């Protein structure tokens, strides 16, 4: 594992963006695993800037997002599909049909999970997976549990995740209680992993995940077994102009 600590949030975001950009430059048809939340926003801003300067081209890439709330459609501003469109995809030259996000309004969410895994298999896996980390150690919506779950699955969100994500909704009651998330198997099978985290409140969980015991109580701890993980951390809180 490579651990890099930067002074500012923006330096952290820029370094992560550099790794994604290098991935696409060296393999234009890369499969990029992408994440939502506040932390990656600066990463997407850098990539959009470089795309606008003609420094990076996403026309042959495919993206696979980690998760989506059950019940939210793509027109819902709280859905992760909406987040990805507005914060990234609408500003770059990736064909929308090659941007995969689980469908939160699928009639049968379990069938959607199985279909999502099949699509990732057909892509021969993820080349580079960008991850955030929850304060409880979750990655995607793989919440602390008794076991690691390998495949894409429907999860009931923990109270701490619902509380943390309530800031994006009008009321905590509006936060969906269920989500579809990529399982730990697909995440671990990504050929490279870049995890971004910032803010004093994340310092302890980053340390615990990468130096503590490997346990499903801290899902990110499983990343210790991955041979190519870069962790980028900045103590600086997400600046106001970046946060959603
Ligand atoms: P955040 O979320 O970037 O909004 O802190 C990270 C996560 O929960 O994975």
- The protein residue whose alpha carbon is closest to atom 8 in ligand 1 is 134
What local confidence, expressed as pLDDT, does residue 240 receive? Answer: 81
DSSP string of 175-195? S-SEEEE--HHHHHHSSEEEE
CA distances from 24 to 31, 107, 126, 127 (A): 9, 34, 12, 10
Ligand 1 neighbour 37 (Cβ under 6 A): yes
Q: Is the CB of 142 under 6 A from ligand 1?
A: no
CB 104 within 8 A of CB 178: no
For the beta sheet containing 229-234, the strands, ordered from the edge strand earlier in sequence to the opposite edge, are 2-6, 229-234, 192-198, 128-131, 31-34, 62-65, 99-100
Dihedral pair phi/psi, residue 140, rounded to 5°: 55, -135
Catalytic annotation on 136?
Answer: yes
Sequence-distant (6+) residues with CB within 8 A of 27 are 127
**C-beta 134 within 6 A of ligand 1:** yes
Ligand 1 centroid – CA 207 distance (Å): 16
Per-residue pLDDT of the chain (244 residues; tens, 9 = 90+): 999 999 999 999 999 999 999 999 999 999 999 999 999 999 999 999 999 999 999 999 999 999 999 999 999 999 999 999 999 999 999 999 999 999 999 999 999 999 999 999 999 999 999 999 999 999 999 999 999 999 999 999 989 889 988 988 998 889 999 999 999 999 999 999 999 999 999 999 999 999 999 999 999 999 999 999 999 999 999 988 776 5
Which residue owns the Cα nearest ligand 1 atom 2?
37
**Ligand 1 pocket test, candidate residues 33, 34, 35, 39, most atoms within 8 A of CB:** 39
Q: Which atom of ligand 1 is nearest to the CA of 165?
A: 4
């Amino acid at each position: 594992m490579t651990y890099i600590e930067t002074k500012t949030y923006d330096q952290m975001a820029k370094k992560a963006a550099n790794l994604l950009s290098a991935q696409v430059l060296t393999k234009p048809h890369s499969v990029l695993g992408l994440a939502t939340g506040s932390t990656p926003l600066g990463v997407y801003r850098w990539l959009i800037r470089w795309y606008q300067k003609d420094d990076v081209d996403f026309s042959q890439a495919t993206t696979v997002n980690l998760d989506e709330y059950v019940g939210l459609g793509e027109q819902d501003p709280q859905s992760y599909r909406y987040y990805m469109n507005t914060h990234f995809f609408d500003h770059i030259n990736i064909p929308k049909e090659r941007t995969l996000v689980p469908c939160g309004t699928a009639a049968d969410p379990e069938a959607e999970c199985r279909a999502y895994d099949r699509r990732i298999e057909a892509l021969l896996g993820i080349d580079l997976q960008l991850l955030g980390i929850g304060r409880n150690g979750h990655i995607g919506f793989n919440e602390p549990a008794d076991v690691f779950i390998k495949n894409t699955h429907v999860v009931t969100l923990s109270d701490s995740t619902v509380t943390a994500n309530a800031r994006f909704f009008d009321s905590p009651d509006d936060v969906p209680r269920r989500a579809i998330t990529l399982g730990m198997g697909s995440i671990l099978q990504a050929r490279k992993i870049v995890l971004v985290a910032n803010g004093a409140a994340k310092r302890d969980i980053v340390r615990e995940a990468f130096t503590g015991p490997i346990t499903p109580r801290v899902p990110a701890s499983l990343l210790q077994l991955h041979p190519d993980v870069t962790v980028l951390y900045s103590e600086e809180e997400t600046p106001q102009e970046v946060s959603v």
